[in-house]
Amino acid sequence: MEKSSFIDYIRIFCRSGHGGAGSRHFMRTKFNPKAGPDGGNGGRGGHIILKGNKQLWTLLHLRYYKNVIASDGEGGDKNNCTGADGRDITIQVPLGTVARDEETGKLEAEILEDGQEVIWLRAGRGGLGNANFATATNQAPEYAQPGEPGIESWKTLELKVLADVGLVGFPNAGKSTLLSVITAAKPKIADYAFTTLTPQLGIVEYRDGKSFCIADLPGIIEGAAEGKGLGHRFLRHIERNAALLFVIPADSNNHTKEFEILLNELKEFNPEMLQKDFLIAISKSDMLDHELKKAIINELPKNIPHIFISSITSQGMSELKDLLWQTLNKKPE
């Protein structure tokens, strides 16, 4: 059920409308059968438009919408009448959607705001009627322009989750449990790898009515940047997060090595991710005494803030919220 309800990648065939042809018509009146050209212009075809909708969280509604074909513009008519434009098609997409050309991989549009509209495939323009070509030396042009063709190609829509904080860690690090404790989200929790197959979002209620969004993302494994495990399907969601909280369990065999593997996978996928704010949370800390905590602190990188938490006993939860809020709202250097 989880797989079918969250769709973050869609491949569709799109074609914008052709422009209508200009009219080649001559006015004829009772007393002047050669009153001159009066052919109108053709209407433009229909655009294909992307529009951001904050009420959508997935591309599921486009799963069976494989062919998006806008209507053509109508041809011009006599009496200088312009043909009707083709009807535009507006595709509603969630915030964080990226549109690309399938063949070239070129980024064509990025939807980040509610109500934002981008003309994805521009329609063909309508042709000019023969009335536009009349001159002093050519008062009866016998020609008009055809309409321009629309654009057609295979396109892709890819959703990258928009959240303030992304939870990063190996499978079973305790990310889903943490999300369920500090937000009202109800992610699937179980003791096996890849319990979380799709991003789960939750809102953290902070002080004075303030809040921020946090995302539980599918667990990384070594080699994810090469496509292993959930691979690229997971890593692309991290690109949207302002800060990353690395969740490392207290019972890890090597906390430093685990952090370095996670960091390397991000670097291999997109080196720009290293510019984000990093924090480290040692989960399941209720099993640690003071000496063990001190030993773990000595292992961790000195330049990255860290905190010990336990989702079971709520240890460190208030401090974690403070640390995340301060990180998200710190003044740029």
Domain boundaries, the chain: 2-159, 165-328
Tens-place pLDDT, residues 108-136: 998 989 999 999 999 999 999 998 998 88
Q: Give, as one character, the DSSP assignment of residue 77.
A: B
Contact 102, 155 (CB under 8 A): yes
Look at the alpha carbons of 222, 227, 229, 235 in this order and tell me if their dihedral is positive or negative.
positive
Fold (topology level) of 165-328:
Rossmann fold (3.40.50)
State the pTM of this model: 0.67
Fold (topology level) of 2-159:
Spo0b-associated Gtp-binding Protein; Chain: A, (2.70.210)
Contact 191, 212 (CB under 8 A): no
- Helix H or strand E encompassing 322: helix 317-328
User: Within 13 Å and on the Cβ side, how many CA atoms surround 240?
Assistant: 24
Tens-place pLDDT, residues 186-244: 544 444 444 445 677 788 888 888 888 888 877 665 544 444 444 455 666 777 788 89
Between these two residues, 75 and 32, which has the higher pLDDT value? 75
- Which pLDDT belongs to residue 211? 86
Look at the alpha carbons of 302, 260, 246, 297 in this order and tell me if their dihedral is positive or negative.
negative
Between these two residues, 266 and 111, which has the higher pLDDT value? 111
Tokens coding 72: 């053509």
- Name every residue whose Cβ is closer than 8 Å to that of residue 322 and which is 6 or more positions away in sequence: none
- Which pLDDT belongs to residue 73? 96
Cα–Cα distances (Å) from 286 to 192, 258, 292, in that order, read 21, 20, 11
- Which pLDDT belongs to residue 198? 63
